[in-house]
Amino acid sequence: MSGGVPRRRRVWLRRLIFIVVVAATLTGSYFWGRHVEPPPRELDAERVALLTGATEPPERVDGEITYWRIRRGDETLYAAESASSAPEVVGYGGRFDLLVVVDGSGNVERVVLVRHDETPSYVENVADFLSSFVGLPATAPLEPGRDVDAITRATVTSQAFAAATRVTSRKILNAALGRDVGLDGEREGWDWRWALVVAAFFGAAIWVRRRPAEWVRVLFAAAAFGVLGLWAGRFVSVGDVGRLVLWKFPPFGPRLSVYLLLGGGAALALFFGNVYCGWLCPFGALTELLYKIPIRKLKVAPEFARRLGGLRFIILCVVVAAFVANWDLGVARYEPFDDLFAYAAAGISLLFLVAVLAVSAFHYRFFCRYLCAAGALLGEVAAVGRPPPRLECRECGECAKVCPTAAIIVNREVIDAALCIECGRCRRDCEAEKQAAQARSGNI
């Protein structure tokens, strides 16, 4: 192909622009965050009274821990914040604060979530979860799934909230009621099991992507959807990207598998192409399986599909800008797979999920190709990485016809790596590549 040198220059220019944009975003976000995000403040008497139903102004008591003595009619209650009483306990999304209230008998009277950095959909029904603590002795184990309920698809968050409640309530017993109660040390749990599962999927994806038989893709998609999606609830979300943009780095141990997914997905994109989107994303796998339903498909001109594919990059920019401007991750909830794999889809989010899945039966990976901000970022990482591997091209154009993401424009030599998901259909259907592969293996 002529013009090889200018093409290399374009690649390096794209890499330079990508690095500058990422560095500028992180730097600007850091300094903007210091300006707009006030430091967490402790609750004042007025808000404590509002949260606990106090009939008199609560009395703040400073000592071994800071707690509030509350009068509600003839009843005396005691409350403390977990952020100051149990700072060593962190959730799946990072730091949080619970107001834990204990009655005069030493039972948990109520638990209120004051602030958090958790994924919004995972704590949508947190009030029901926290209500299961009411009436239990502060000395009880308070184990999720046994003594109290658990937040669906949020095991680490459930355990963290329970641990914070356990430590805080027992410190209240010691400080306010004079009871000699032992405090169990709460250590950060490590997500080893799912991290190993994710690593195994990565290794398998690198191996099978060179063997793109359709039955292999179907089995791999089913495994990714069932294991990583429905069972583990592990996937790359733009919310995880947002935490990095906002410099809100979650604890490493409980989120080891998510760090591995995000970091491993980016690393694979640099060296092997966008393997995560093509092989590991559980939602992408689901939509690809739905597309196999034998119904009439929606045909979109490749050139128009490529232009429309730029929409997801616009969405990525808008979402990141919203993260920084609001200093909040709530906008990440537009992703339908967040609610799907958290089993929390309801209302508008449920309608959007159903609509996306319905369209996916007619259009190949509709959400992935046009709306997924996380996929846009990984695609851009792939584009600034190494060039896609060359085929034994005879310029027949067959690869462009079978490419499901319209990544190949005319033939193999003009390809947009940001759109390629490493499905391997071009290699599978290219006769020249088949013959070259056979020659390399010594079969001809």
Ordered by start, the domain boundaries in the chain are 45-176, 191-440
Candidate ranges 138-142, 282-286, 340-344; pick with highest mean pLDDT: 282-286
Report the pLDDT value the prediction gives residue 147, as an integer from 0 to 100.
Answer: 84
Q: What is the mean pLDDT of residues 352-379?
A: 95
Q: At 39, is the pLDDT very low, low, confident or very high (cuts 50, 70, 90)?
A: low
Report the pLDDT value the prediction gives residue 363, as an integer from 0 to 100.
Answer: 95
Tell me the C-alpha distance between 110 and 134, whole Å.
Answer: 5
The whole model's pTM is what? 0.80
Report the pLDDT value the prediction gives residue 431, as an integer from 0 to 100.
Answer: 63
Report the pLDDT value the prediction gives residue 339, as an integer from 0 to 100.
Answer: 82
Q: At 1, is the pLDDT very low, low, confident or very high (cuts 50, 70, 90)?
A: very low
Tell me the C-alpha distance between 63 and 65, whole Å.
Answer: 5
Q: What is the mean pLDDT of residues 292-310?
A: 90
User: On the CB side of 390, how many CA atoms lie within 13 Å of its CA?
Assistant: 6
More confident residue, 388 or 66: 66
Q: At 212, is the pLDDT very low, low, confident or very high (cuts 50, 70, 90)?
A: low
Contact 158, 116 (CB under 8 A): no
Q: What is the 3-state secondary structure (H, E, C) of the chain?
A: CCCHHHHHHHHHHHHHHHHHHHHHHHHHHHHHHHHHCCCCCCCCHHHHHHHHCCCCCCEEECCCCCEEEEEECCEEEEEEEHHHHCCCCCCCCCCEEEEEEEECCCEEEEEEEEEECCCHHHHCCHHHHHHCCCCCECCCCCCECCCECCCCCCHHHHHHHHHHHHHHHHHHHHHHCCCCCCCCCCCCCCCHHHHHHHHHHHHHHHHHCCCCCHHHHHHHHHHHHHHHHHHCCCCCCHHHHHHHHCCCCCCCCCCHHHHHHHHHHHHHHHHHCCHHHHHHCHHHHHHHHHHCCCCCCCCCCHHHHHHHHCHHHHHHHHHHHHHHHHCCCHHHHHCHHHHHHCCCCCHHHHHHHHHHHHHHCCCCCHHHHHCCHHHHHHHHHHHHCCCCCCCCCCCCCHHHHHCCCCCECCCCCCECCCCCCCCCHHHHHCHHHHHHHHHHCCCC
Share of the chain above pLDDT 90, in %: 42
pLDDT value at 78 more than 60: yes
pLDDT value at 425 more than 60: yes
More confident residue, 362 or 158: 362
Report the pLDDT value the prediction gives residue 2, as an integer from 0 to 100.
Answer: 42
Q: At 35, is the pLDDT very low, low, confident or very high (cuts 50, 70, 90)?
A: confident
Q: At 444, is the pLDDT very low, low, confident or very high (cuts 50, 70, 90)?
A: very low
**Of 114-118, 126-130, 160-164, 308-312, which gets the smallest average pLDDT?**
114-118
Report the pLDDT value the prediction gives residue 407, as an integer from 0 to 100.
Answer: 87
Which among 107, 109, 106 is positioned nearest to 98, based on CA atoms? 109
Q: At 3, is the pLDDT very low, low, confident or very high (cuts 50, 70, 90)?
A: very low
Q: Which residues contact 101 (CB under 8 A, 6 or more apart)?
A: 52, 70, 77, 78, 79, 108, 109, 110, 111, 112
Q: What is the mean pLDDT of residues 141-150?
A: 85
C-alpha distances (whole Å) from 201 to each of 52, 80, 346 are 48, 44, 30
pLDDT value at 234 more than 50: yes
